Amino acid sequence: MPSADHSVFIGTANHGYGQQAQEEIRRLFGSETKFSFMVPTEIFMFSVPVSRAEAVASLLEREPMFLRHMQPVDVELEWNGSIDTLQDAILAGFRLAAGTKLAVQVRKTEQVQSGLSAGVCKQAIDSVLTEACHIAPVVKDAELILSVFLTPQTAYAGLSRPEDNLSDWPGGAIRFRREEGQVSRAKFKLLEAEQAFGLDFTQYRSAVDIGAAPGGWTSLLLERGVKVTAIDPAKLDAGLLKHPKLTYYPKNAGDVRLQPDAFDLLVCDMSWNPRQMAKLVKGLLHALQQGGTAIVTVKLMHKKPFQTVRELLEDLAPALTLQKAKQLFHNRDELTLFLIKA
């Protein structure tokens, strides 16, 4: 159980990257940090030798690239799979003021008995909170999140501010609605980057999109009112070609000549060897204004992500300085960098 010099959390990373998230957490808190996987390679419990407030402050200040979500474990409740026990345990475990703007998020392992879905458990907790505590749980814009993680014998529950969880989506699994005629799923990556890095693309004037086809990223930037120069030898979606704010070069980016300082935003989502990609981007950096933003997807090669990122940042320095690197929910074997031109 948590105490003044010890705190417990459940961390979530993209499938296959739990180990990397653990490595980053261990670097922050040292060798006394303990881990145990709850869902292989992805969801794990970790306990750190500092108070919860200190742990959260450190994790927010030096946010691990591979930790998508965290939730505190304030109480560990034995349960037998019965909904009544779960409801009683939540009421006994937390004192909640009437009218609190609270979101309830429930996740579970696959081993929890079939037929007992996370949705059913959430509804049961929502209804007992409404009846017993006069709280009508919300889905968005909560002041507090009650996170519940269920395994066959134990319910782990914690109460926290949404910002202390790194994401206000359960497990950081942010979902966007697929639109009719959407050009590519890759669009979700840039949408998520906009949120994760606290950006507002409507504030940009002119962007260059390197490796733009079929055009998901380009379409999002056009929707935000940005003028876009899209570069890709592959075909851009036909629906985008008539857009008045689009310039399209159907070429290899290495063969395009761009005007100096023409753009305040550079985005690049090429599935390339990162060092080759860095060389290409550097060759076009004269076109990005000083103080301009770059959003770059990095393909993770041979499962050595820390080395890959280190080398790439060395290649891009001193022209580009890192603001934040994050493996987004919509990244596969890659992560996304937010950089500023010095």
Ligand X SMILES: C[S@@+](CC[C@H](N)C(=O)[O-])C[C@H]1O[C@@H](n2cnc3c(N)ncnc32)[C@H](O)[C@@H]1O
Instruction: List residues with catalytic annotation.
Output: 299
Question: Which residue of 186, 207, 278, 281 would you call a contact of ligand X, by CB under 6 A?
Answer: 186
Integer Cα distance of 106 and 132 in angstroms: 19
Distances (CA, A) of 39 to 45, 65, 100, 107, 156: 10, 19, 31, 11, 14
Among 38-46, 221-229, 267-275, 283-291, which window interacts with ligand X (CB under 6 A)? 267-275
Joined together, the tokens standing for residue 249 give 């070069």
Query: In whole angstroms, how close is the CB of 127 to ligand X at the nearest point?
Result: 42
Pairing, β 206-210 against β 154-160: unpaired
Residues contacting ligand X: total by CB under 6 A: 23
Q: Please name the residues in contact with 286: beta carbons below 8 A apart, sequence gap of 6 or more.
A: 258, 260, 261
- 187 near ligand X (CB under 6 A): yes
- HSE-up of residue 47 (Cα within 13 Å, Cβ side): 13
Q: Are 72 and 2 in contact (CB under 8 A)?
A: yes
Q: Which stretch binds ligand X (CB under 6 A): 85-93, 115-123, 147-155, 210-218?
A: 210-218
Residue 56 interacts with ligand X (CB under 6 A)?
Answer: no
Contact track, ligand X, 268-297, x by CB under 6 A: -xxxx-------------------------
Helix (H, G, I), strand (E, B) or coil at 113: coil
Name the segment binding ligand X (CB under 6 A); options: 39-47, 96-104, 208-216, 323-331. 208-216
213 binds ligand X (CB under 6 A): yes
What's the N-to-C CA distance of the chain in angstroms?
A: 46
Binding of ligand X at residue 234 (CB under 6 A)? yes
- Taking residues 235 to 264 in sequence order and writing x for each that binds ligand X by CB under 6 A, - otherwise, the string is -----------------xxx----------
| Residues in touch with ligand X (CB under 6 A) | 183-184, 186-187, 210-217, 231-234, 252-254, 269-272
